[in-house]
Amino acid sequence: MKIYIATLPNGFFGSTGQSWRSLDVNKLAALLNYDTEIVTINDLMSIKFQETDTVVYTSSDEKHIRFYLQDIMYFVNKKCRILPNYDILMSHENKGFQELMRTELGFGNLKGNYFFDIDDSALSIPKVLKTVNGAGSSGVFLVKEENDLLDIRQKHFSNCNRRKVIKLQRRIRSKGNKFSIYNYRHKGFNRFVEQDFIPNLTYDFKVLVFGDRYYSLKRNIRKGDFRASGSNLFEHVKPSVEVLDYAKSIFSQINNPYASLDIAQSPNGCHLIEFQGTNFSPGTLLKAPSRYLCIDGEWVREDNDKDLEANYAHALNLFMKSSEIPCTSVPSCTSVPLSIMTQNDCSKVM
């Protein structure tokens, strides 16, 4: 078994939350408990991998790098394991794929829908509409009445004036159903996600998970807004047991060493708003005074060392160790991460 840490061609490895700062891959490699080699993403297609090998990489908020990674990792994933897994890569900067992944795996506890035609918007009002990409609170809209939906249609699902003129000309010249086909093709499409609106929220939690370590940030909602993301009204406070239990249950299903989870809590329980498993901001880890671990069924608080590379290495070592355990009975499996194999229902925080 060998681990390849794949950087960008210039040696950059993101996931620090700052576009100008790279993770210290030499430090990361030294902390891993396995034979490790540092390569670049351009090397990957020429390496003769063993099935037991693992490629550790990170996505990018630069779309051309991200799309390149999606192409390369599709084929590398056929030869060995990649971390993050391919579903997580596809989910990065893509709320639409996140929605499909939640539907497929059956987690999240929040009704949603993914569409490209505004007429396929199906959830009842009030609801939240989101563009598939966009960080923070950008591209997130609250639909309280039909006029709000009309505004989104006009701004995000309409054609430019030039296309409108061409459509008018085509309508005059076309016969039969030819224009109907042409008109639908140029109707005005955009990829959007809709979710149920959770009323009366005053805050949510950002929860970062690195293996068995949980870091949390309370994000308060600004007066007159409905979005906690991007508010900059943050507090490092102890999350509820329900939030931690819920984060653990979600993390156990995404089959990744680390994750960023946006979790809201209402009288109806906890709800997963969004998630990422690569290239997410580690600010919560770097600033939180404490972290939480589930030990013998109880959530235990411990001091945070705020060491980013050490936490990535810790998560990767746990994940890799879990995959070494042989299958003994169904439904256990060598590919199941430690977070699944040791999952307990935690009842209190100490």
Asked if residue 345 has pLDDT above 60, the reply is no
Tell me whether residue 103 is in a domain: no
Rounded Cα distance, 214 and 37, in Å: 28
3-state SS class at 115? strand
What is the average pLDDT score of the chain?
88
231 vs 115, higher pLDDT? 115
Are both 218 and 322 inside the same structural domain?
yes
When mean pLDDT is compared across 16-20, 124-128, 223-227, the lowest value belongs to 223-227
Chain CA centroid to CA 198, Å: 20
Domain boundary among 55, 90, 125: 90
* Higher-scoring residue by pLDDT: 133, 298: 298
Residue 156 and residue 284 share a domain: no
Report the C-alpha gap between 330 and 336 in whole angstroms: 12
DSSP conformation class of 129: E
- The pair of three-digit structure tokens given for residue 260, joined into one six-digit string: 């960023």
Mean pLDDT of 11-35: 91
* Per-residue pLDDT, 325: 44
- Tell me the CATH number at 144: 3.30.1490.20
Band of pLDDT at residue 326, cut at 50, 70 and 90: very low
Q: What ranges in the chain are assigned the alpha helix state H?
A: 25-31, 63-76, 86-91, 95-105, 146-156, 161-173, 178-185, 241-254, 283-287, 308-324, 338-341
Cα-Cα end-to-end distance for the chain: 38
Q: What is the pLDDT of residue 249?
A: 96
Residue 229 has a pLDDT of 63
Instruction: Indicate whether 84 belongs to any domain.
Output: yes
Examine the domain organization and report whether 231 and 337 are in the same domain.
yes
Asked if the model's pLDDT at residue 305 lies above 80, the reply is yes
Given a contact cutoff of 8 angstroms between Cβ atoms, the answer to whether 92 and 254 are in contact is no
Q: What is the pLDDT of residue 224?
A: 66
pLDDT at position 327 is: 37
In this structure, the answer to whether residues 240 and 335 fall within a common structural domain is yes
Mean pLDDT confidence for 328-346: 41
**What was the pLDDT predicted at 137?**
67
CB 47 within 8 A of CB 39: yes
Same domain, 279 and 210: yes
Rounded mean pLDDT, 84-94: 96
Domain boundary among 90, 122, 155: 90
* Separation between Cα atoms, residue 315 and residue 96, nearest integer Å: 27
pLDDT of 61 > 60? The answer is yes
The region of weakest confidence among 81-90, 221-230, 238-247, 298-307 is 221-230
Same domain, 314 and 333: yes
| Residue 105 within any structural domain of the chain | no
Residue 170 sits in which domain range? 111-197
Indicate whether 227 and 171 sit together in one domain. no
The Cα–Cα gap between 228 and 207 comes to 13
Specify the pLDDT at position 165: 74
In a domain, 349, yes or no: no
Q: Are residues 71 and 203 in the same domain?
A: no
Which of the residue ranges 178-187, 277-286, 331-340 would you say has the lowest mean pLDDT? 331-340
The per-residue pLDDT for 128 is 95
What is the per-residue pLDDT for 323?
Answer: 79
Asked whether residue 95 is domain-assigned, the answer is no
Name the pLDDT band for 292 (thresholds 50, 70, 90): very high
Residues 270 and 184 in one domain: no
Domain boundary among 170, 197, 224: 197
What distance in Å separates the CA atoms of residue 255 and residue 126, rounded to the nearest whole number? 33
Average pLDDT over residues 135-142: 80
Among 94-98, 131-135, 186-190, name the one with the lowest average pLDDT.
131-135
How many domains is the chain partitioned into structurally?
3
Once rounded to an integer, what is the mean pLDDT over residues 263-292? 94
> Between residues 338 and 160, which one has the greater pLDDT?
160
List pLDDT tens digits, range 102-136: 999 999 888 999 999 999 999 999 999 999 987 66
Same domain, yes or no, for 133 and 14? no
Confirm whether 27 is domain-assigned.
Answer: yes
Shared domain for 164 and 226, answered yes or no, is no
**Of 76-85, 117-126, 175-184, 269-278, the least confident:** 175-184
- pLDDT at 279 (0 to 100): 94
99 within some domain: no
Please state, for a pLDDT cut of 90, what percent of the chain lies above it.
70
In a domain, 274, yes or no: yes
